[in-house]
Every structure is written in structure tokens, then in C-alpha cells.
Amino acid sequence: MLKITNLHAGIEAKEILKGINLEIKAGEVHAIMGPNGSGKSTLSAVIAGNENFEVTEGTISLEGEDLEECSPEERAHKGIFLSFQHPVEIPGVSVTNFIKTAINESRKAQGLEDMPAKEMLKEIREKSDLLEIDRKFLSRSLNEGFSGGEKKRNEIFQMAMLNPKLAILDETDSGLDIDALRIVANGVNKLKSEKNAVIVITHYQRLLDHIVPDFVHVLFNGKIVKSGTKELALELEQKGYDWIKKETTV
Amino acid sequence: MAYTEKELQKELETKEYEYGFYTDIESDTFPKGLSEEIVIAISKRKEEPQWMTDWRLEAYKIWKEMKEPEWANVTYEKPNFQDISYYSAPNSKPKYDSLDEVDPELLDTFKRLGISLDEQKKLAGVAVDIVVDSVSVATTFKKTLAEKGIIFCSISEAIREHGELVKKYLGTIVPRKDNFYAALNSAVFSDGSFCYIPKGVRCPMELSTYFRINQAGTGQFERTLLIADEESYVSYLEGCTAPSRDENQLHAAVVELIALDKSEIKYSTVQNWYPGNKEGKGGVFNFVTKRGLCENHAKISWTQVETGSAVTWKYPSCILKGDYSIGEFYSIAVTNNYQQADTGTKMIHLGKNTKSVIISKGISAGKSQNSYRGLVQISSRAENARNFSQCDSLLMGDQCGAHTFPYIEVKNKSALVEHEATTSKIGEDQIFYCNQRGINTEKAIALIVNGFSKEVLNKLPMEFAIEAQKLLEISLEGSVG
């Protein structure tokens, strides 16, 4: 589904990603771990098409289609979803209004009519129940005054509503207490299918106890230095990143 | 490539006036210039009684002695008042019984604006009195209103048919000597609307008037007088769009509202006059005096969405004379390119237990300047007066300006006056977040701006709110290339 080949990218002449290779097939869950500053968030931003980062070399393709010329919204229309580490506030725009706009803009891009209100309502009901979201929450201004946990739950709610092919969860576990973590992970697991794929970016093993990855990659200094199965995450949890760093520098 | 503030700004600058066309309707236009003779000629043309002619002449005398005000935070080339034609009326002037008789070109103009009369007529509960270049050409729903004893007509007609009411109230809220533009308007006002709601009557529909400026070099001097008698209620809508022009057009309207005991007036305006091109050439000068008087337990709400005009100078105000009276001001002012707006309100608390609320939302883009100027005055005998003011500014790019000039004068210790203000910017991160959810930049800006303006948009009647939202989008969106 997603294929990244020799990706180099950076910001203002500073190279952050230094040759990433990654292939993700439909139905798979990949975890990307690594110490602070290794380029995890940059990778997710570049996949989403954030134009603050410049791709200097390499390609990203989704279902065989090169994304280089695609704007962030076009990537979204093709089914890429990024759950932000720090979701922004949009005062005066309710969660409902925002998701309605997002869904209808995507439909418009596909030449479809707006989603009928009845169907929209049904979707919202289903997905908010799935994530144990209070209805009142849906009328609040997007992310304004939300707790860390509410923000993340809202991101996953949007993901559920948009039903993406590829979801990137950028440190979705940060700021979540144990209950919220379980709810969010349950939601992700229920949305998981043979047709979509998930990239989980995290520092910790605890999220991976709930969302079990097929593959774990360690990102260090802009490169994937080690890949393995879920056992690799456990090993990292025990040993920390130092041994990886040593291994890489040797 | 990164989507920077600069690019965002550039996009906003490329927004051209969507309604930039000119309707070719034959007009009957006076020679340029202003003199006693012209004032008399206007009065005569409108078949006015002598008292009205005299009233105008007195206003002209006052105006001649006055100087144009310079205190507002705007700069512009002053109009040459002798180079303006003070009267213009569409030529085919007879009153129409049905739409079929209206000049087809005019109807076409309205269709292009998306406010076709056909639709308007069908829009249940909306009576439309259209003012094109100063003369009413169509009035609908008049019968329904007449059954309730409501008078809704052009001010010219009111002067002829309801002289006593006009004579009693005209100029009582905005006196002729109030300010330079009010004096000018009093001398030369060409037309406008008049509305009287009798005692205890709740007006069953939103009354609405569409104003347009349509004749090259013609100043537009509208005069509106609205009287809500005791325990009555009325909601009044005023909306404007204008064709594209090269030279500056002067607009100096006067609106007077009288809310008698226990009555309520809601006055909503959507204003979208030609703001000039992106170099700041042309555009309408909008110097308006709007003021209302509240008697005991009466309430006046001003809601305005201002997106047009090159220069705006406008302060819809409330004189809270009666005890327990309430004044409200909800405003959205958008400026782009070289537009300048100096707008706000005055809340004059005279009566006991009077309350006022001010919510002002200013949105500046391009190289524009957007100022809020508001006065809250609590007089010595206004026991327990309350005011809450909130002024929020949203900036786009780094070449525009937002200014706030709050004036607070309190002469009674029991007063409670609150003022809150915020300034924010549309961030690249907000735009990217929307983009990531499949919402393009144009739509994202519209969404953010609508969110910012929501508190005020919510105060507009439903159909007007939708139109206003469209206007906000038109005013701020760029053609994303």
C-alpha cells in the first residue's frame, strides 16, 4: 500500500530524514519507535505532505501512485490520515461541523454529493459510541479547552469517521491515561481491516500492548536502523535505545 | 513548497470583487453640484410638502458651516462635494403591480447577485422593499403588513402619506447638526425606508430592504426611520451589494430607530459595497450615522456584517434613555487589500438598570486597517448600569492592522463595566491541520473565519446568516492556484 524509497527530507537545508526505506502492505500494523529527535514526527509530516519540509531525494507512493505532486488535501482524499501529536484548536468550529466539512470535501473531490444528513448522523452516533464519546463533546469548539486525552480521542474519532486507507498515529498515547489508552486502542483495533494499514509512532511499549504491531522499526538519526517483529519493542523497553545507538555507530 | 504567511496573503489579495458588473438602466440624473436650488429641486421632484423642503434647506445651511470630521483612523482623498450628482432615479418609474413589469435588466442584476426577486417572493415571511438608486421599484407583501396596521414604505411615500409621524420623529435621534454627513444627508436624502409598527403588534415577518448604488458618480443618501410603538416587535434586515466602479462613490446614510416602552427592534445589516480594486483604487466611501433610542424596558439590537467599502465610518449606537432598557451591538467587520474600516458603537446609559452588550469581531487581511471604536457612557443618574464589551481581532498576513479604541466614561459608582479584547492570527498549523483532513486552504480559511465570527453570525436571522457566511468567504478567499 505505502512504499517509501530512499527518502531524504529536511527543513531549511537541515537534513532530518536520511534515506528511509519502508514498505507497508494492506492489513498490516507497523510501529515506528526511536529516541527523541530521530525524525519520527518529520516522517509522518512528510507522508502527510506538510510543505514546511522539503523532500530532496526519494519517493513516497500510495498504491503505486507517486505522491510527490500531491497537496496535503489530495493525499487526504486518497486515504492518508494523520493523527496529530499536537492537534490545533479552531475556535467556534464545532467537532461536528469540522468533521462534516472534512467528509464532504473528500466526497466532493471524488465527485460525490454531500453525505445526507441522516447518514452523517448515523455515522457520528456509531463512531462516537465506539470511542465512548459524550454527545455534548461533539458540539464543543474543535480542541478548544480539550484535555490531552480528549484531543487524542477526537483525533481517533475523526479517523473513524474518515475511514482512511493508511492511518498514521503520531504519539497518540502521549497524554492518555490508562482508561483512555484502552478506549483509543480498542477503537483503532475495531477499525482495523484487511484493507487498511496503520503506522503507530510511539516511544513506549504500552500502546503496543493494545495495538499489536506486525512489524517494529527503530528510527535513529534519520534512518531505520533496525526492523523486527513485536519482540523488538519489548527488547527496546528493557534495554533502552543505547544499545541501538552503539550498534549503529560501531 | 511551504505555504507561508506571504503566500496566504498573496492569495487573499487576488480576490476580485465578485459582483463587479454594472447594470445599464437609463437614469434620470441631476447635474453635479450642491446648492439651495438643488435641495429645492430634490424636494420638488419628490413632491414633498413645504415643511419638508424647509427642513432640508435648514440642514443645508447647517452643513455649509460644518467641516468634515478627521478624527477617524482612516485616510482618504476627500470627496469634492460639488462634483457629485445628488439625485438619480431609474427612468422607468411607475409603481409595479407585479415582477413582470420590472425592468428585466434589473431583475437580471438581482439574479446574478443570487437574490432574485422570484426567490425572494417565495421566501416565506420576507417582504422586500428594494431601493435601487434611491427609488423604490418594487414592494411586496405590503397587504399582509397593512392588515396588522404596519406601515412599511419608502420614506418619500411616508412624507406624503404619513406626514405627521415623519414630522414628529425625523431628526429627533440624529439631529441635522449631529455631524457633517448627517447634515448633508438631511439636506439631500433621496430615498430610504420608513417603518411604523403599531402598539402591541409583533411584525409577522422580517422586513428587508436591499440597497444598491448604481449610477456613475451618484452619491447615495439613504434615510431610514423606524418606529416601534409600545410593546411592539420588529426585525429589520438591510443588505447591500454594488457594481464595480472606478471613481469613489460617496454613501452617507442616516438611520434612526425609535423603540417606545417595552418594544424591541432588531436591525441587521449585511454590507458588501465595492471595496476598490487590489491596488486600493476606487471603492465606496461609507459614512453612516445609525442611532436608536430606547424608552423604558425597550431593546435595540444592531447586528452588522461589514465586508465592503473602501472606507467605512460607522457607529450604530443606542441611547438607553428609559429605565431597564437594553442595547446590543454585534459586529463583524472584514477588511482586505487597502480597505479601511473605523467602526464600533456608542452605548449611552441614561436610565436606571440599563444594560448593554458589545461583541465586535474584526478580520483584517492584505494591507487593510481595521479599527474598533466604541464608547460606553454611564451617566450620573444611571443607577446599576451594566455593560459587557468584547473586541476580538483576527489578522491574516503581516501587513494589515487591527486597532481598538475603547472609550469608557463612568459617572455613577454602581456601574459595572467589563471590557475584554483578544488578537489572534490564522496559523499555518491550523491550515495544515484542515488540509490533512481533506479541506483545501480556501475552505479552511472560510471555516476558521466563520468559527471566529460565529457569536455574531448566530445573531442574524437564518437566511441572512447564510448569505453573510457566503459574503465572508467571498471577501477573504483567494483563487487558489
Report the distance separating Cα A25 and Cα A78, nearest Å: 16
Cell 472584514 belongs to which residue?
A: B334
Summarize pLDDT for B33-80 with one digit per residue, the tens: 888 888 998 898 888 999 999 999 999 999 999 988 888 888 888 888
The pLDDT score that the predictor gives to residue B86 is: 80
Q: Is the pLDDT of residue B5 over 90?
A: no
DSSP 8-state symbol, B101: G
The pLDDT score that the predictor gives to residue B237 is: 85
Summarize pLDDT for B447-462 with one digit per residue, the tens: 999 899 999 988 888 7
**Interchain contact B3–A (C-beta under 8 A):** yes
> Percent of chain B, pLDDT > 70?
77
Is residue B87 within 8 Å of B42, Cβ to Cβ?
yes
DSSP assignment of B6-56 equals HHHHHHHHT---TT-------EEEPPB---HHHHHHHHHHTT--HHHHHHH
Most confident of A147-151, A200-204, B116-120, B226-230: B226-230
The pLDDT score that the predictor gives to residue B93 is: 38
CA angle, corner B65, sides to B60 and B67, nearest 5?
110
Write the ipTM: 0.96
How far off is chain A from B453, nearest CA to CA, in Å?
Answer: 8
* Partner residues linked to B361 by β-bridges: B332, B392
Q: How confident is the model over B390-419, as a mean pLDDT?
A: 93
List the single range of A122-136, B8-22, B40-54, B84-98 with lowest mean pLDDT.
B8-22
Is residue A213 within 8 Å of A205, Cβ to Cβ?
no
Q: Is the pLDDT of residue B297 over 80?
A: yes
The pLDDT score that the predictor gives to residue A134 is: 87
> Percent of chain B, pLDDT > 90?
48
The pLDDT score that the predictor gives to residue A163 is: 94
Which residues in B lie closer than 8 A to residue A158 (C-beta atoms)? 437
Q: Is the pLDDT of residue B16 over 50?
A: no
> Taking CA atoms, what residue in B is nearest to A71?
B435
How far off is chain B from A250, nearest CA to CA, in Å?
Answer: 37
Is residue B335 within 8 Å of B364, Cβ to Cβ?
yes
Three-state secondary structure call for residue B199: coil
Q: Is the pLDDT of residue B91 over 50?
A: no
The residue among B225 and B123 whose pLDDT is bigger is B225
Which residues in B lie closer than 8 A to residue A87 (C-beta atoms)? 433
The residue among B41 and B107 whose pLDDT is bigger is B41
B248 pLDDT band, cuts 50/70/90, is low
**Interchain contact A114–B (C-beta under 8 A):** no
Which residues in B lie closer than 8 A to residue A92 (C-beta atoms)? 450-455
B473 pLDDT band, cuts 50/70/90, is confident
CA angle, corner B48, sides to B47 and B52, nearest 5?
165
Is residue B227 within 8 Å of B195, Cβ to Cβ?
yes
Q: Which helix (H) or strand (E) holds A196?
A: none
The pLDDT score that the predictor gives to residue A99 is: 95
> Percent of chain A, pLDDT > 90?
76
DSSP alpha helices (H): ranges in B113-225? 117-122, 142-147, 155-161, 163-169, 180-188
The pLDDT score that the predictor gives to residue B122 is: 34
Residue A130: other Cβ atoms inside 10 A: 16
Question: Which residues of chain A register pLDDT less than 50?
Answer: none
Cell 430615498 belongs to which residue?
A: B191
Which residues in A lie closer than 8 A to residue B450 (C-beta atoms)? 92-93
* Average pLDDT of the residues of chain B: 81
Q: How confident is the model over B320-338, as a mean pLDDT?
A: 94
The pLDDT score that the predictor gives to residue B241 is: 54
* Average pLDDT of the residues of chain A: 92
Give the closest of A52, A73, A141 to B2, CB-based.
Answer: A52
The pLDDT score that the predictor gives to residue B183 is: 95
Residue A127: all three cell numbers together: 463512531
B311-to-B172, B281, B303, B305, B432 alpha-carbon distances in Å: 27, 11, 19, 15, 33
Which of B8, B435, B441 would you mutate first to test chain A, the one with the most A CBs within 10 A? B435
Which of A89, A90, A170 would you mutate first to test chain B, the one with the most B CBs within 10 A? A90
B22 pLDDT band, cuts 50/70/90, is very low
Summarize pLDDT for B161-197 with one digit per residue, the tens: 999 999 999 999 999 999 999 999 999 998 888 999 9
CB spacing of A50 vs B432 below 8 angstroms: yes
